[in-house]
Amino acid sequence: MSTKKKTSAKKSSEAEGTGTAELTEAEILEMQDSMSSEWGEGAPRKAKAFWPSALRLAGTFREHKLGLAVVLAFGIVSTVLTVWAPSILGDAMDVIFDGFLGDGVEFGALGRLLLIVLGMYVIAALFDWLQGRLLNDVVMDIVYDLRERIEAKVNRLPLSYFDTRQRGDLLSRTTNDVDNVQTALQQAFASLVYAVLTIVGITVMMFWLSWQLALIALIALPISGVVIGIIGAKSQKLFTAQWRGTGRLNGHVEESFTGHDLVTVFDRQDSMREQFDTRNEELWEASYKAQFYSGMIMPIMQWVTYLGYVGIAVVGGLRIAAGQMSLGQVTAFIQYSREFNAPLGEVAGMANMLISGVASAERIFELLDAEEQEPDGQITARGPVGGASSAEAPGGRAEATGAGIVEGEAGSSAPAGRIVPRQELTGPTRGRIEFDHVAFSYTPEKPLISDLSLTAEPGQTIAIVGPTGAGKTTLVNLIMRFYEIDAGEIRLDGVDIRALDRGAVRSRVGMVLQDAVLFGGTIRENIRYGRLDATDEEVVAAATATFVDRFVHTLPDGYDTVIEDEGANVSAGERQLITIARAFLADPALLILDEATSSVDTRTEVLVQEAMAALRTDRTSFVIAHRLSTIRDADVILVMEHGDIVEQGSHDALLAAGGAYHRLYWSQFADGVDPDEDEAVLEGTTTGPVPAVAATEFEAE
Ligand SMILES: Nc1ncnc2c1ncn2[C@@H]1O[C@H](COP(=O)(O)OP(=O)(O)OP(=O)(O)O)[C@@H](O)[C@H]1O
């Protein structure tokens, strides 16, 4: 076996070059992290700053001081009784021993002592149980509060927080880490309280009985410490190697599963199998060594402990012979020295759990400390308020200043840090949107929108076109107030949207995105999500207007069809239609549409187009447009490049201007594609031939 392992280890280094992508150290550590909790093995996760985080975690107990004091008091009572009992048992033994040597055993005295011991153990057990119950209650309260705080916090975090973090990581912080803290507090804390009290109690009793024997018993401690230190460090390294091996093997397996088709096509099964064997054997070897070394710790510690017993027995015997101690005292002492190791082992076992719990608490604190979005009504306008273009916009400036949202005149530079006073929109929303010299960037290092102005009159359809990364989605994100702008103003019906509650802005806007988001309920529920108090008739009316009704009738359960796995049982186009119906039912004053250009068959595509057109009627709509028909019919076309609007106007006006839009349009049709062909697309992926020129000009930037 070992020869085989050696040859394969050699093979492994040869195979490395041709092998699958190796995992980085960070990935291995991450994997180790996630697996250690699942498999209960491996090195514990460590906090970046253990003590500050541990103290802060301890700080969460502050509100439960009284409960904790009672837990501690119960713990002390239970431990004192448990620690005291062996000494009384020793007295009982002396009564028996003296009775045998003298005039017979005094059963009355013996019975009294035994009853006392029994009573002590019963009371100790009762207090121990009470302490456990109370601690559980306290910990559950603490974790309940923690969950509440996390939930509230997540709702106050800006979208940019989620952009920069992995969803899985956030999910893990809010679920696994909280569970981990709960387990650590419940188990490790209880054990630590028990262990510390017991160790202190037993040490006191041992020194009280005989300091010489106590020293012999305690000498085993540093010896055990050295053993654990040396072997522990070695096995820690081996465990890391084991995790690295696991990581590499998992990486390989994952790659061969996901790339199965590729492997088959290139006929690489043999080399993949060879690599698997190599990694599997590497893992076997690493695991074997890790288990071997870590398995040595316990027997060596046992051996050291037994050596201690021998020392105690010998010296204890000599002291009995010399009349310095009674047999009962030495027996009690041996009992103490046996009990001494149990809490020590428990502390060692719980240390990992505690370290891991503090690491989890640290991750939760990081989340709780994250910078929040400014609360509604206290929004700080950071940059200057512009005004030139909006002053020219009909009605725009007058309404804005009339509404008293901004201090100072239009066009003036407002001082940074000015609070925008809260406003409310009264009456029906007209849907007028103005961007007034808006500047925005996701990160300060990468400026995006520098000076953007536009006005969308109520009921107008605004088509946004431009190359990928031009800022089309960003524009609609700003309307939705998913992000706060750096300078300028965005006004809805003349009111700075920062003066409104975010909810008030978003409730007036309907969004239909390319990725139709459906949840796992029925079609009816998914549509009703647009307006929860809508009647069944209204749901069906919305579905009929948006062609959902048609395909719903072909489904066996009709509107009660449950959407599976994010919509696996309805096609992509049908999903999109359902989201359109949802927006239709919500009847928002403003609409944001992202036209789908892919994964929809031509017939459904036409329906989607018509449904979107129905939805746009009588409301201000911003369409991230891909289809010429939409663009041509739009009241205003915004041509965006590098975060700014390089051109805006109607189709005819822009064509006549001969600028970027003109270039786009003619490059699109230069190869003789019929300009009246409505199905043609600007960014070129769905239907109809799209000349390469167009793709180059609008996508390759
Ligand atoms: N959440 C974000 N955080 C940081 N940068 C972002 C974020 N979202 C987009 N960006 C960057 O901002 C720029 C504009 O992106 P945006 O999504 O608005 O472009 P787009 O015109 O909608 O592109 P596409 O047509 O590909 O969707 C891009 O450079 C993009 O990388």
CA angle 493, 440, 406 (to 5 degrees): 45
- Identify whether 73 is part of a domain: yes
- The preferred substitution site among 448, 485, 486 for testing ligand 1, maximizing ligand atoms within 8 Å of CB, is 448
- The preferred substitution site among 163, 438, 472, 622 for testing ligand 1, maximizing ligand atoms within 8 Å of CB, is 472
Residue 674 half-sphere exposure toward CB, CA atoms < 13 A: 6
Q: Does an H or E element contain 437, and which? A: strand 433-440
Dihedrals φ, ψ of 461, to 5°?
-105, 125
360-365 average pLDDT score: 90
As a whole number of angstroms, the distance between CA 597 and CA 614 comes to 18
As a whole number of angstroms, the distance between CA 353 and CA 348 comes to 10
Residue bearing the CA closest to ligand 1, atom 9: 474
- Identify whether 67 is part of a domain: yes
- Spacing, Cα 642 to ligand 1 middle (Å): 10
Each residue of 629-661: pLDDT tens digit?
778 888 899 988 888 888 888 888 888 888 888
- Identify whether 647 is part of a domain: no
Retrieve residue 281's tokens: 């054997």
Each residue of 142-188: pLDDT tens digit?
999 999 999 999 888 888 888 777 777 788 888 888 998 998 888 88
Atom in ligand 1 nearest the alpha carbon of residue 683: 25
Average pLDDT, the chain: 78
- Identify whether 671 is part of a domain: no
Each residue of 29-64: pLDDT tens digit?
554 444 444 333 333 456 677 888 889 988 888 888
Dihedrals φ, ψ of 434, to 5°?
-125, 135
Q: What is the pLDDT of residue 434?
A: 92
- The preferred substitution site among 159, 452, 474, 482 for testing ligand 1, maximizing ligand atoms within 8 Å of CB, is 474
Burial class (CB in 10 A: 0-12, 13-18, 19+), 313: middle
- Identify whether 214 is part of a domain: no
CATH number at residue 144: 1.20.1560.10
Q: Model confidence at 125, in pLDDT bands (50, 70, 90)? A: very high
More confident residue, 318 or 518: 318
Find the length of the chain. 701
Residue with tokens 């799209």: 690
Q: Which residues pair with 640 in a beta bridge?
A: 645
Q: Model confidence at 446, in pLDDT bands (50, 70, 90)? A: confident
Q: What is the ipTM of this complex?
A: 0.96
Retrieve residue 693's tokens: 């020129």
DSSP characters over 91-113: HHHHHHHHHHHTT---HHHHHHH
- Identify whether 92 is part of a domain: yes
Retrieve residue 279's tokens: 């990694």
Sequence letter at residue 118 = L
Q: Domain limits at 112?
A: 49-200
- Identify whether 189 is part of a domain: yes
Dihedrals φ, ψ of 452, to 5°?
-120, 125
Distance from the first to the final alpha carbon of the chain? 59
- Identify whether 635 is part of a domain: no
- Write down the H helix ranges in 322-444: 327-369, 388-392, 396-402
Number of domains in the chain: 1
As a whole number of angstroms, the distance between CA 315 and CA 686 comes to 92
More confident residue, 33 or 84: 84
Dihedrals φ, ψ of 48, to 5°?
-70, -40
